[in-house]
Amino acid sequence: MSSPPAIRAGRLQDRLAAFAAIGATAKNGVNRQALTAGDRQARRLLAELGSARGFAVSQDAAANLFLRREGRDPSLPPLLLGSHLDTQPTGGRFDGALGVLAALEVLEALADAGVETPRAVEVVAWTNEEGSRFSPGCFGSRAFAAGRIDPAWENALSLDGERLGDELAATLAALTEAAMRPLGGTIAGYLELHIEQGPVLEREEIAVGAVTGIQGTRWLEIAIAGAAAHAGTTPSSFRRDPMVAAAASLHDLYGNVMPRDENARLTVGRLRAEPGSINAVPERVIFSVDIRHPDPARLDAIEAHVRRTCAHAAAAAGCRSEASILFDMPPLTFPDAMVALVEDAATRQGFSVRRMVSGAFHDALFVARVAPAAMIFVPCRDGISHNEAEDVEPRHAAAGAATLLECALAAA
Amino acid sequence: MSSPPAIRAGRLQDRLAAFAAIGATAKNGVNRQALTAGDRQARRLLAELGSARGFAVSQDAAANLFLRREGRDPSLPPLLLGSHLDTQPTGGRFDGALGVLAALEVLEALADAGVETPRAVEVVAWTNEEGSRFSPGCFGSRAFAAGRIDPAWENALSLDGERLGDELAATLAALTEAAMRPLGGTIAGYLELHIEQGPVLEREEIAVGAVTGIQGTRWLEIAIAGAAAHAGTTPSSFRRDPMVAAAASLHDLYGNVMPRDENARLTVGRLRAEPGSINAVPERVIFSVDIRHPDPARLDAIEAHVRRTCAHAAAAAGCRSEASILFDMPPLTFPDAMVALVEDAATRQGFSVRRMVSGAFHDALFVARVAPAAMIFVPCRDGISHNEAEDVEPRHAAAGAATLLECALAAA
């Protein structure tokens, strides 16, 4: 009888290094944006690694790439494990790649041990998760969940003037040895390992995060209109200064939203004053407010609080405030059984684990629309991501992969 | 015996209309920037109006233009009355022109009445007060006070690619009938009528402002550095958010500087967050602080308060604050005897009058370095200036001119 399946940490590190070399930057990062030559090269390498182990290679119309290890009953829906291979323009070596290569490691560990799973297990590399070359992101997982490609997305243009539809066709054509499969289809479940992209696990020295859901995100734009006036000649009582209202609004929001709700996030990353003269009271101040919360009712309540606060502060300064919604993505909660699957798997493997909400989007957000899904987080150094300095300790990469394997054994 | 001298309000209005036609814009404003063809045309008209009344026309190397009505003793230093004829690109009909044409009206009123003054009275039109075509502004009055033209200024280039030195020579050459006079020289005093460019006189329904001085101006740039972070994944306690520090700083400054000192002005007209992503905690927030005060000690105290407030708020948010001075113009106080001269003149003429500080620069700021100077303000509609909508009621223009005449009679 064969020994129980186990991931091989050294092999995983070798694979991470091999993929990091494709699109490597001078600063030890990776520039391998979606549907570029580098992305095609990474897909080819993944396909070759899969073929070499006898896994069936296929791709769908969205260029999602699959490696399948057949199960005892090929008619059962497969268990899907994966993430993405594309990166930000100045991306790191782990965001996405870790999830795909840990999934491959799981398949190889099963094959090494000769384990026969009841259902097939598939590795997936979703197309264009980052959305930095072609908007929107999570293109592949959205298309998979919808069973179709939104025609509008095919006409998305990159900054270098390429059309997504054209680059997609070229990417598919570059991997002719992969069988074409229908877009979408029934799956038993989806598991995605990903770096946390935040500081919590590292600071709490916890090896594994069992992700309970992905918080909702809403972007507001607040425009406060006052009256331009000469900085030297206009006394305080004659001013209608929108910067006074903006400062009062933000000071109030920073003091009340996050401090009173540990699950709330409120960020003002963009602010401008018009016309922007040093020696003039501005006419308008416009700023963004990014609010996030796992609970949709709280998201609504925070939005209402932001609108009310800005309106009151504007009125007090003799100004008018208008709010508009730029973006709205509702929260997602993973099924509790799937979260417990991750938690139990980590615990059985002897890793410290905590439940946590994902602050960022992931392909799992969309796959969860069509199947039970879960995510496993591992710590990344200083919480840094979308950055060439992104780094993950080998022991944490291995712990994540081992947890993923344990989950796959339980779910497949 | 002749009747006492009196200004003729209709003549002043006709002159204002004639000059407003030179560089008139579609929106009833004026575009007559320094040393342009329009500026030359306005100088020519002023010279012709002066010559027609027998006033001696002269200009100096800075193209300051003078009309002289001789006094009983030509060896006495003259009294100078004036302002400027150049405008902002989208300027109004009164900023500058009112002061020059009211001074001409004073000379004509003296001539009409056949009054012989002990000393000569001169009208002056200073060159390039606005500084919008060639920086810095107050070119002519600075040169007059210094007795020389700063060589660096001659090489100033306009946005249309012209060099100040060349445009100055062409402007001088265009008025060959004006005698050349030395730059600078001894004068008995200087009086300048100007629109307030602020709302105080209008709102308080006061006809004349006796300007006690020109407040000091200091521009600070505050840069608060924190750490960029993902808006979704970074909990509040892990953030070092410079926008939090900026909001706290500004809220504190708005609540404490102007409300506690009616002579203080504090304006934040420019603010930016870097990198300016909606979904990222900014790395840096940079903003300007324009502070003004008539008292240099208070200006220093306010600067120190701004630096302290920003440093404390930055530290509280885990950030660092740096302040630098972009511009510093010390306050000027006109001699009390000159302020009283204006106040008494207005009162004798039956006009309501209040002492007030000028929030903006004027040529008087520089002429005051070499002679006793004073300024007379009149109300402008809604405090609007540097704007094509700039407007002054005829009765207020006449009241300003009558006050200027009364001052000239007392001082000449």
pLDDT digits (tens, 9 = 90+) for B240-279: 999 999 999 999 999 999 999 999 999 999 999 998 888 8
Span A6-13, average pLDDT? 97
Q: Indicate which CATH number applies to the domain containing A235.
A: 3.30.70.360
Check whether residue A175 and residue A281 sit in a common domain.
Answer: no
Compare all CA atoms of chain B with the CA of A254 and give the residue at the minimum distance.
B244
Q: What phi, psi does B65 have (nearest 5°)?
A: -110, 130
Classify residue B54: in a domain, yes or no: yes
pLDDT tens digits, one per residue of A149-188 = 999 888 888 878 899 999 999 999 999 899 999 999 999 9
> What's the pLDDT score for residue A2?
58
Nearest to A247 among B200, B251, B292 (CB): B251
Q: How many CA atoms lie within 13 A of A64 on its CB side?
A: 32
Check whether residue A150 and residue A44 sit in a common domain.
Answer: yes
Check whether residue A130 and residue A239 sit in a common domain.
Answer: no
Check whether residue B318 and residue B378 sit in a common domain.
Answer: no
Nearest to B385 among A230, A236, A285 (CB): A230
A-B C-beta contacts closer than 8 Å:
198
Please state the length of chain B. Answer: 412
- Classify burial at B133, counting beta carbons within 10 Å of its beta carbon; exposed 0-12, middle 13-18, buried 19 or more: buried
Q: Which chain A residues have a beta carbon less than 8 Å from that of B276?
A: 269-270
* Residue to test with chain A: of B221, B237, B266, B279, most A Cβ within 10 A: B279
ipTM of the complex: 0.80
B360 vs A262: CB contact, 8 Å cut-off?
no
Nearest to A292 among B219, B232, B258 (CB): B232
Classify residue B89: in a domain, yes or no: yes
Q: Which chain B residues have a beta carbon less than 8 Å from that of A292?
A: 231-232
Average pLDDT value over all residues in chain A? 95
Classify residue B1: in a domain, yes or no: no
Taking 60 as the threshold, does the pLDDT of residue A1 lie above it? Answer: no
pLDDT tens digits, one per residue of B294-325 = 999 999 999 999 999 999 999 999 999 999 99
- Classify burial at A201, counting beta carbons within 10 Å of its beta carbon; exposed 0-12, middle 13-18, buried 19 or more: buried
Taking 80 as the threshold, does the pLDDT of residue A110 lie above it? Answer: yes
A230 vs B359: CB contact, 8 Å cut-off?
yes
Compare all CA atoms of chain B with the CA of A360 and give the residue at the minimum distance.
B232
Q: Which chain B residues have a beta carbon less than 8 Å from that of A257?
A: none
Classify residue B25: in a domain, yes or no: yes
Other C-beta atoms lying within 10 Å of the C-beta of residue B130: 22
Q: What phi, psi does A332 have (nearest 5°)?
A: -125, 140
Using CA atoms, how far apart are residues B195 and A264, in angstroms rounded to an integer? 53
Q: DSSP characters for A196-223?
A: -SSSHHHHHT-SEEEEEEE-EEEEEEEE
> What's the pLDDT score for residue A132?
82
Q: How many CA atoms lie within 13 A of A255 on its CB side?
A: 13
Chain A closest-CA separation from residue B220 CA (Å) = 9
Check whether residue A364 and residue A317 sit in a common domain.
Answer: no
Check whether residue A135 and residue A222 sit in a common domain.
Answer: no
Check whether residue A323 and residue A383 sit in a common domain.
Answer: no
Compare all CA atoms of chain B with the CA of A385 and give the residue at the minimum distance.
B230
Q: Which chain A residues have a beta carbon less than 8 Å from that of B248?
A: 251, 254
Classify residue A281: in a domain, yes or no: yes
Computed over its alpha carbons, how large is the radius of gyration of chain A? 24
Using CA atoms, how far apart are residues B341 and B336, in angstroms rounded to an integer? 8
Q: Is the bond into B331 cis (omega within 30 degrees of 0)?
A: no
> What's the pLDDT score for residue B42?
98
Using CA atoms, how far apart are residues A298 and B257, in angstroms rounded to an integer? 37
Nearest to A251 among B232, B247, B262 (CB): B247
Give the residue numbers spanning the domain of A385: 9-214+331-411
Q: Are strands A79-84 and A121-126 parallel, antiparallel or unpaired?
A: parallel
The answer to whether A83 and A381 are in contact (CB under 8 A) is no
Q: Which chain A residues have a beta carbon less than 8 Å from that of B215?
A: 232
A236 vs B258: CB contact, 8 Å cut-off?
yes
Using CA atoms, how far apart are residues A91 and B14, in angstroms rounded to an integer? 70
Chain B closest-CA separation from residue A347 CA (Å) = 24
Name residue, tokens 């993944």.
A46
A360 vs B233: CB contact, 8 Å cut-off?
yes
Classify residue B355: in a domain, yes or no: yes
* Residue to test with chain A: of B233, B257, B306, most A Cβ within 10 A: B233
Using CA atoms, how far apart are residues A34 and A36, in angstroms rounded to an integer? 6
Compare all CA atoms of chain A with the CA of B235 and give the residue at the minimum distance.
A265
Sequence-separated (6 or more) residues with CB below 8 Å from residue B229 = A383, B238, B239, B240, B241, B280, B281
If residue A59 lies in a helix (H) or strand (E), which one and from where to where? strand A56-59
Q: What phi, psi does B24 have (nearest 5°)?
A: -60, 140
Q: What is the dihedral of CA B174, B177, B181, B183, to 10 degrees?
A: -20
The answer to whether A334 and A230 are in contact (CB under 8 A) is no
Confidence category of residue A3, pLDDT binned at 50, 70, 90:
confident
If residue B289 lies in a helix (H) or strand (E), which one and from where to where? strand B284-293
Check whether residue B17 and residue B105 sit in a common domain.
Answer: yes
B197 vs A271: CB contact, 8 Å cut-off?
no
pLDDT tens digits, one per residue of A72-102 = 999 999 999 999 999 988 889 999 999 999 9
Other C-beta atoms lying within 10 Å of the C-beta of residue B37: 13
Check whether residue B106 and residue B176 sit in a common domain.
Answer: yes
> What's the pLDDT score for residue B1?
43
Q: Report residues of chain B scoring pLDDT below 50.
A: 1
Q: Which chain B residues have a beta carbon less than 8 Å from that of A230?
A: 197-198, 359-360, 383, 385-386
Please state the length of chain A. Answer: 412
Question: Would you state the structure tokens that stand for residue B149, as one six-digit string?
Answer: 């033209």
Span A309-335, average pLDDT? 95
Q: Indicate which CATH number applies to the domain containing B15.
A: 3.40.630.10
DSSP class of residue A117 equals P
Q: Which chain A residues have a beta carbon less than 8 Å from that of B358?
A: 232-233
Instruction: Determine the residue type at A87.
Output: T
A238 vs B203: CB contact, 8 Å cut-off?
yes
Taking the model in full, what pTM does it have? 0.79
Chain B closest-CA separation from residue A295 CA (Å) = 14
Name residue, tokens 């329009």.
B38
Q: Which chain A residues have a beta carbon less than 8 Å from that of B277?
A: 269-270
Chain B closest-CA separation from residue A345 CA (Å) = 24
Q: Which chain A residues have a beta carbon less than 8 Å from that of B268?
A: 243, 247, 273, 282
Check whether residue A220 and residue A167 sit in a common domain.
Answer: no
Q: Which chain B residues have a beta carbon less than 8 Å from that of A328?
A: none
Chain B closest-CA separation from residue A62 CA (Å) = 27
The residue among A380, A334, A347 whose CA lies nearest residue A200 is A380
A243 vs B196: CB contact, 8 Å cut-off?
no
The answer to whether B368 and B334 are in contact (CB under 8 A) is yes
Nearest to A265 among B200, B232, B254 (CB): B232
Listed residues A329, A349, A382: the one ending a domain: A329
Q: Is the dihedral of CA A20, A25, A28, A34 positive or negative?
A: negative
Q: Which chain A residues have a beta carbon less than 8 Å from that of B288?
A: 278
A231 vs B290: CB contact, 8 Å cut-off?
yes
Using CA atoms, how far apart are residues A173 and B377, in angstroms rounded to an integer? 78
Using CA atoms, how far apart are residues A270 and A273, in angstroms rounded to an integer? 11
Check whether residue B29 and residue B107 sit in a common domain.
Answer: yes
Name residue, tokens 């694979």.
A15
Q: Which chain A residues have a beta carbon less than 8 Å from that of B241?
A: 254, 267
Measured between alpha carbons, how far is residue A21 from residues A26, A32, A92, A391 in Å? 11, 10, 11, 15
- How many Å separate Cα B232 from the centre of its chain? 49
DSSP class of residue B157 equals B
Q: How many domains does chain B have?
A: 2
Classify residue A3: in a domain, yes or no: no
Listed residues B290, B305, B329: the one ending a domain: B329
Using CA atoms, how far apart are residues A211 and A42, in angstroms rounded to an integer? 27
Using CA atoms, how far apart are residues A290 and B81, in angstroms rounded to an integer? 58
Using CA atoms, how far apart are residues B1 and A52, in angstroms rounded to an integer? 120
Check whether residue B399 and residue B311 sit in a common domain.
Answer: no
Using CA atoms, how far apart are residues B322 and B368, in angstroms rounded to an integer? 35
Nearest to B290 among A262, A279, A386 (CB): A279
Using CA atoms, how far apart are residues B251 and B256, in angstroms rounded to an integer? 9
Top-confidence residue, A348 or A280: A348
Nearest to B251 among A248, A267, A386 (CB): A248
Classify residue A30: in a domain, yes or no: yes
Q: Which chain B residues have a beta carbon less than 8 Å from that of A92?
A: none
The answer to whether B47 and B104 are in contact (CB under 8 A) is no
Chain B closest-CA separation from residue A92 CA (Å) = 15
The answer to whether B69 and B120 are in contact (CB under 8 A) is yes
A280 vs B269: CB contact, 8 Å cut-off?
yes
Listed residues B314, B329, B344: the one ending a domain: B329
